[in-house]
Chain A
Amino acid sequence: MTPADTLRFATRAATGYPLRTALMVLAMSIGVAAVVVLTALGDGARRYVVNEFSALGSNLVIVLPGRTATGGLGLGNIITSTPRDLTVRDAEALLRAPLVTRMAPLSVGNSEIAWGGRLREAMVVGTSGDYVDIRAFRMAEGSFLPREDLGRASAVAVLGTKLRAEIFGNEPAIGRIVRVGDRRLRVIGVLDKTGQGLGMNTDELVFVPVATAQAMFNTNNLFRIIVEARSREAIGPAKQQLEDIMRLRREGELDVTLITQDAVLGTFDRILGALTMAVAGIAAISLAVAGILVMNVMLVAVTQRTAEIGLLKALGATGRNIRLAFLTEAALLSLAGALAGFALGHLGAWALRLAFPVLPAWPPDWAVFAGIGTALATGILFGVMPARRAARLDPVQALSRR
């Protein structure tokens, strides 16, 4: 019996019982579709979070004051155990690292902003002109803070778009003098809508030069320094260089913490990736159920076609012929189910994307292959037992069954 004949015979057998075949294919396709849709959902969530984080800028190293580390009793520890402040001088020194392109110090405080009788609580961020590029913000009006010496406390401010709307309404904002805390600042720019980032809503912030903010809050301390490395690959070496510089400035003691964007992103990536796998695993259970269904259907088919199997044996079919025919039939059912499920799953993912446009709910390639592969494997695996049973039937008894 040639493979082509086996295939044709199995196809005729599968299509010979349409209801049974349709139900079988439906069960298998639901399993595959579940894998496709659920992984699309999981991976969509992962991509959504990663995209949100990437919006922060991709090559960033964030420097925080203080360090949680367990060290021995060194000279540094005896003299001082509290971390020293992170200052604007530190920030400037960091720019000396060859792999660093840009840097922005951050000094953050709460204050109030007032104009024309309107008063509002606002978070004030003192930073430098490079911040707008590092975070890849766009300006709606005017320009961002000037690029100038970090020690200069210019009396200018840049507003988030929401803040601007609440203070000025429909009136023009550029050039107006607002009061922030006890200072009068000229509005020189308004940011475009940006959304959430780093836990604060940028649309509600007031940006001022870092020296202005430090004077306002009467501090020399910086909240963070954000450093941009030359490229994604340079993040690691750049971090090393930054640590060296900081250590040099602190007499050999490293009392700052450096976080890379990659590390944060990687963690989220891993967590959500694991979640996707878990969801896929749960969906795979339905595939196993479908596999058992294949076995049941094929066992029924063997019983139903006992006389036919006896006849084939009488006509000279070998056990192998019969085994292959039944196995091919099981494989065909699984394949049809897998393909139908693939289509159904993509339909579901499409519906998801339609319903939640922010969620990039595309099923990952590996999940599609794994789903279809598992469907085929379970179908064939669970088809082996019925096929062997068919091949072992005693022809005399099989023929007498009618």
Chain B
Amino acid sequence: MRINGQVYNLGLDNRTSLLDALRDHVGLTGTKKGCDHGQCGACTVLIDGKRVLSCLSFAVMNEGREVTTVEGLASADDSLHPMQQAFIDNDAFQCGYCTPGQIMSAIGCISEGHAGSEDDIREYMSGNLCRCAAYPNIVAAILQARDEMRRA
């Protein structure tokens, strides 16, 4: 499996979820566990560019695939992805726990073409719960990042 551009050869229990593989076996704890049932979105990662709930995917199902986590977004020079910067600028989090999932989901939302309007963003980001309820700020961040990603 390739994770953030790096190849990992992992020997795992076939019951291990992709989420637990990332957190407990690869040491990438940026991806969060909030429910383990696909209900909260905190574990969202990109698999071959599409957003996926890593708690609902067995690690073995992803052999040979390209997984991107929040740790893989910043450039090599450590400059932030436009979505990460937009989340800071718009205070799109408080406790920060759902944030990696929100950011990965937001990138997926834009690449799917579901960020055309504020209403679209609200609808297509509703699989990512934020208990601190930063929702209006999350929408504002996605609008900002969308425009910057288009220009880039």
Does B bind A? no
By a beta-carbon cutoff of 8 Å, the part of chain B in contact with chain A is: none
